[in-house]
Amino acid sequence: MTRVPFAARVAAGVAVTVVEEARKLPTTAIMFPMTVVSEVLASSMRLQQQVTALAIKGDQVIAVLPIIGTPDEEQPSWAVFEDDVPADGEGEVDVPDQEPPPATGRFALYSTPPSETPSSGNGSNAKPAAPVDRPDIVDLVDYDTLALAQLRARLRSLSLDDLQTLREYEDASLRRAPFLTMLENRITTAKAK
User: pLDDT for 21-57, tens place per residue?
Assistant: 889 888 878 888 888 899 999 999 999 999 999 999 9
Q: Is the pLDDT of residue 174 over 90?
A: no
Secondary structure letter of residue 93 according to DSSP: -
Q: What are phi and psi of 174, to 5 degrees?
A: -85, -30
170: buried, middle or exposed (CB in 10 Å: 19+, 13-18, 0-12)? Answer: buried
Instruction: Report d(CA 110, CA 108) in Å as an integer.
Output: 5
pTM attached to this predicted model: 0.36
- End-to-end, the C-alpha distance of the chain in Å comes to 93
Q: What are phi and psi of 17, to 5 degrees?
A: -65, -40
Instruction: Report d(CA 83, CA 93) in Å as an integer.
Output: 11
Which residue, among 79, 89, 156, 144, has the nearest Cα to 117 in the 3D structure?
Answer: 144
Question: Helices 160-172 & 177-192, crossing angle to 10 degrees?
Answer: 160
Amino acid at 162: D
User: pLDDT for 65-112, tens place per residue?
Assistant: 876 545 556 666 677 666 666 666 555 555 555 555 555 555 555 555
Decide which of 183 and 115 is more confident.
Answer: 183
